[in-house]
Structure 1
Amino acid sequence: MHQVACAAADSDARPVLAGVYVRLHESTATLAAADGFRLALKQIALPVPVATKQEVIIPAPALRELGGLLGETTETISMSVSAAALGSASATQAIFTTTNITLSTRLIEGQFPNVERILPQGCTTRAILDVRELNRAVKLAGLIASVSQNVVKLSLSADEATQTGTVMLSANAAGIGTNTGAVEGQIAGEGGQIALNVKYLGEALAVIGTPQVALEMVTAQAPGVLRPVGQNPGLSGVEGGYVHVIMPMALR
């Protein structure tokens, strides 16, 4: 749940975006959050299929609190919602239960955007990178980018013959200076440049959950996509069961 809650909006200006959409359908649980600048979607196989499709929006702070209480446990979590919340205009509450924890929270009313429809389909460049190395480069770039609208430029270049290459990260701020870093990895495709919010990129890497991450792009005007590498194939074509999308910023 922490993989998704990080993408929820901090503001209540649009209440549905301050929550995490949860859909239980047949044998799959889908969790999604989006704040207008990024989107995270997680799919989980349910141990027991649900009899009736259920869709609710849970406040992101409640899920963050639940994640903190659970820690690294792998215990199964039971979630129940009041009957009034299902297909009703008035939201009530959701209750999460484990052996030692019971947490209840109100539900958010409203219609969550159809995020699956806007997930990028395909890419022209795909880089598989070490998460720790990329995160280190992102943090260094963030020291400069944080005082310059959080913009970090990523330049992907690939050797077509070996399908290896380099991702160059650069950030600059007037009167302060420039930071440039490089991360090598497996890179296939055309290459290119994209500018992303360094804060969002760092938060996505912090929850990706695997030693390697796939960074995908099409053009500088299209979103950047992060996916875990090395997990079991995901449901409904979502690799590793998780995808994190970050909207691009203007290249400088």
Structure 2
Amino acid sequence: MLILPRMGMVATDGHRLSLVEVQEDGLAIDGYQKVLLPRECMGDLLSLFGSSKDETVEFSESENTIFFQIGHRTLSVRKLIGQFPNYDAIIPREAMDSIVLGAADFMGSLQRVLQFSDEKSSGIRLHIDKNALTVSASAPGSGESQEALQTSYTGDELTIGFNGHYIAEFLKTIGTEGAVRVALKNGSSAAVITPESFNPEYQQKYVVMPMRV
């Protein structure tokens, strides 16, 4: 069996977790390395990508610093000291029911319903029943809103609450073309959201913790 070089990036704020894994033969990786970096450096790195025509980035490191080289420009970032949470324990591994939704339709419903959500929590409810997902929100002084989306679903009926902005931010990141899969175990467990398009070399996974709404 051929095992291709792999690189992963993961970030979490305690309420949500995003994981990206790239696995391809073109990755020049030697050995295993794990580095903890500050969130702020990702914005600087994106700025470097945006201002460069180069499509590749080179990594190197010293004892306390990691270097990103894009073309003739280099970004140096001081490594953080500490232990990153065990994210493998956060990602649900049990069998889960799932629904597939058009990303643009899901985003549109979220944006409209969020206008009626609580300003502090941005809480929305997802109610899933046979072949339908209902997105709803309500707050004192704002009223109530709900929208139904058609989907194929054969699992048990369930209702679960989330911070709607967390889901919308992920949809914005991956783009609203195509579809997304939302996997759920029950009304009190984390949801796992993934792009529906399959690419064995690039996989993205988003875990969102539920909330009371």
Q: TM-score, normalised by structure 1?
A: 0.75
2:181 counterpart of 1:214: yes
**CA displacement at 1:118 relative to structure 2:** 2.4
- Partner Cα separation in structure 1 for residue 53 and residue 107 of structure 2: 25
Q: 1:244 aligns with which of 200, 206, 210?
A: 206
Task: Report the RMSD for the aligned CA atoms in angstroms.
Answer: 2.3
C-alpha separation between the residues in 1 aligned to 2:184 and 2:168?
A: 17
Q: Superposed, which structure 2 residues align to 1:104-183 within 5 Å?
A: 104-147=76-119, 149-158=121-130, 165-183=131-149
Deviation at 1:29, TM superposition (A): 0.7
Distance 1:146 1:62 in 2: 32
Partner of 1:7: none
The Cα offsets for residues 166-212 of structure 1, whole Å up to 9 and x where unpaired, read as 21100000122001112223334224111001111111111134521
Do structure 1's residue 225 and structure 2's residue 187 form an aligned pair?
no
Structural mapping, 1:28-177, within 5 Å? 28-45=6-23, 47-71=26-50, 75-82=55-62, 84=63, 92-147=64-119, 149-158=121-130, 165-177=131-143
The number of residues matched between the two structures is 208
Deviation at 1:78, TM superposition (A): 1.0
Instruction: Name the SS of the counterpart of 1:140 in structure 2.
Output: helix
Gap runs ≥5 in structure 1: 1-24, 85-91, 159-164, 235-239
Give CA deviations for 1:104-146 in whole Å, capped at 9, x if unaligned.
2111111111202321114432111111111111111221214
User: Share of identical aligned residues, percent?
Assistant: 25
Shift of the alpha carbon at 1:242?
1.2
The structure carrying a bigger helix percent of its residues is 1
Instruction: Name the CA distance, whole Å, in 1 between partners of 2:197 and 2:76.
Output: 34
Query: CA 1:243–1:57 in structure 2 vs 1: closer, same or farther (change >3 Å)?
Result: same
CA contact (8 A) 2:6 2:27 kept: no
State whether residues 123 and 211 of structure 2, in contact with CA within 8 Å, keep that contact through their aligned partners in structure 1.
yes
TM-superposed CA distance for 1:26, in Å, is 7.3
Higher RCO structure (Cα 8 Å, ≥6 apart): 2
Q: Residues 213 and 68 from structure 1, CA distance in 2 versus in 1: closer, same or farther, beyond 3 angstroms? A: farther
5+ residue gaps, structure 2, are none
1:50 match: secondary structure: coil
TM-score normalised to structure 2 length: 0.88
Per-residue CA shift, 1:32-53, capped at 9, x if unaligned?
1111111111111252352221
